[in-house]
C-alpha cells in the first residue's frame, strides 16, 4: 500500500492535495481533532487518487493496449459515436470501469495520429450503466494508425466524475502508452476495436493501463502468438 503513495503525482492533482493538506494543518493547529482526522484521510486519499505510476508499455505495433486501469465491465457490439468517424456498423466495444481507487490516467491504446478530439456534453449517470456510453458527458478520441484504420477511445464521466481532462489535440502524433488525459473522480473508458482485431480480454478482467494487452490488430494476417505472451 505504501508503494502507491511513493509514485509521481499528476500536476492537476497538486492543488487538491494542497487544499486538503492546508485545511488539515489548520485543524491541527486549532486542536479540532474531530475535523483533523477526516481531513487527513482526504489528504491521503487525494495523494492516492492522483498517483501516476510509470508503466512498462509493450512495443509490438500489432497490439492494442489498455487505455485505462479498471475492470472490464462489459464487452459488446455497439455503433461507435458518430464523432469518431468509424462508420455506422456495430464494432466491438470494451468498457473499462474506473472506481475511485483506480489510477485515473488515460493512455493511448496504440501509436498513431489523433484524428479527432470531440467533446459532447451530457448527463452524469452511473458510469457502470450501459446507457452511459450514449447519454453521459464524454470526450471521443479517434486515433488513425499508419495504415489508415481508426481506433476509438472515449472518456466518459460518471455520477461522481465531473471533469474530463484530455491532453491531446487533433493532428498530434502519439505513441502507444502515452498519456492522453484523465478523469476526476470515478469514470469509464470505452475502447472501440477496428474490424479484424482479435479481442484478448473478457468481462470481469482487471486492466492495467498502458500494460495489459487487450487485442491483436489485423489478427487475420498476423503470425500466431504463444498464449504465454498475453
pLDDT (tens digit per residue) in 81-92: 999 989 889 999
Q: How far is residue 110's CA from residue 192's CA, in Å, rounded to a whole number?
A: 12
Domain with 11, as residue range(s), is: 2-49
Triad 33, 35, 41: Cα angle to 5°: 100
pLDDT digits (tens, 9 = 90+) for 133-179: 777 889 999 999 988 899 999 999 876 656 788 999 999 999 999 99
pLDDT score, position 197: 92
Comparing CA positions, the residue from 167, 105, 169 lying closest to residue 143 is 169
Q: Which positions are annotated as active-site residues? A: 187
Instruction: State how far the alpha carbon of 158 is from the alpha carbons of 23, 46, 162, 186, in Å.
Output: 27, 18, 7, 6
CB contact at 8 A, 133 and 182: no
Looking at residue 164, its pLDDT comes to 87
Residue 230 lies in a domain: no
Query: Do 183 and 69 belong together in one domain?
Result: yes
Give the whole-angstrom CA distance, residue 24 versus residue 39.
5
CA distance 6 to 122: 36
Residues 119 and 217 in one domain: yes
| pLDDT on residue 40 | 92
The string over 186-199, giving b where at least 16 C-beta atoms fall within 10 Å of a residue's C-beta and e elsewhere, is bbbbbbbbbeebee
Per-residue pLDDT of the chain (230 residues; tens, 9 = 90+): 555 556 788 887 788 889 989 999 999 988 888 889 999 998 998 888 888 899 999 989 899 999 999 999 999 999 999 999 898 899 999 999 988 888 889 999 999 999 999 998 877 666 666 766 777 889 999 999 988 899 999 999 876 656 788 999 999 999 999 999 988 776 889 999 999 899 999 999 999 999 999 999 875 444 444 444 44
**Residues 78 and 35 both lie in one domain:** no
Give the cell for residue 62: 500489432
Domain match, 86 and 38 both: no
Judge if 44 and 67 occupy the same domain: no
pLDDT for residue 221 = 43
Number of domains composing the chain:
2
- State the pLDDT at residue 157: 84
User: In the structure grid, which three cell numbers stand for residue 32, read together?
Assistant: 479540532
Does residue 229 fall inside a structural domain? no
Q: Are residues 87 and 177 in the same domain?
A: yes
Judge if 14 and 112 occupy the same domain: no
- Same structural domain, 105 and 202: yes
Amino acid at each position: 500500500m505504501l508503494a502507491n503513495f511513493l509514485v509521481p503525482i499528476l500536476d492537476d492533482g497538486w492543488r487538491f492535495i494542497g487544499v486538503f493538506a492546508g485545511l488539515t494543518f489548520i485543524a491541527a493547529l486549532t486542536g479540532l481533532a474531530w475535523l483533523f482526522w477526516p481531513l487527513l484521510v482526504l489528504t491521503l486519499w487525494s495523494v492516492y487518487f492522483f498517483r501516476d505510476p510509470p508503466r512498462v508499455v509493450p512495443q509490438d505495433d500489432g497490439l492494442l493496449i489498455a487505455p485505462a486501469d479498471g475492470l472490464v465491465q462489459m464487452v459488446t457490439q455497439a455503433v461507435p459515436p458518430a464523432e469518431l468517424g468509424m462508420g455506422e456498423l456495430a464494432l466491438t466495444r470494451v468498457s473499462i470501469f474506473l472506481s475511485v481507487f483506480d489510477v485515473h490516467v488515460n493512455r493511448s491504446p496504440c501509436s498513431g495520429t489523433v484524428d479527432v478530439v470531440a467533446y459532447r456534453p451530457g448527463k452524469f449517470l452511473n458510469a457502470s450503466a450501459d446507457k452511459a456510453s450514449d447519454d453521459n458527458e464524454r470526450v471521443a478520441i479517434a486515433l488513425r494508425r499508419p495504415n489508415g484504420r481508426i481506433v476509438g477511445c472515449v472518456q466518459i464521466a460518471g455520477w461522481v466524475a465531473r471533469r474530463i481532462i484530455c491532453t491531446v489535440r487533433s493532428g498530434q502524433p502519439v505513441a502507444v502508452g502515452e498519456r492522453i488525459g484523465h478523469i476526476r473522480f470515478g469514470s469509464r473508458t470505452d475502447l472501440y476495436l477496428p474490424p479484424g482485431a482479435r479481442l484478448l480480454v473478457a468481462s470481469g478482467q482487471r486492466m492495467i493501463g498502458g500494460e495489459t494487452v487487450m487485442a491483436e490488430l489485423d489478427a487475420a494476417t498476423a503470425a500466431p502468438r504463444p498464449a504465454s505472451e498475453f
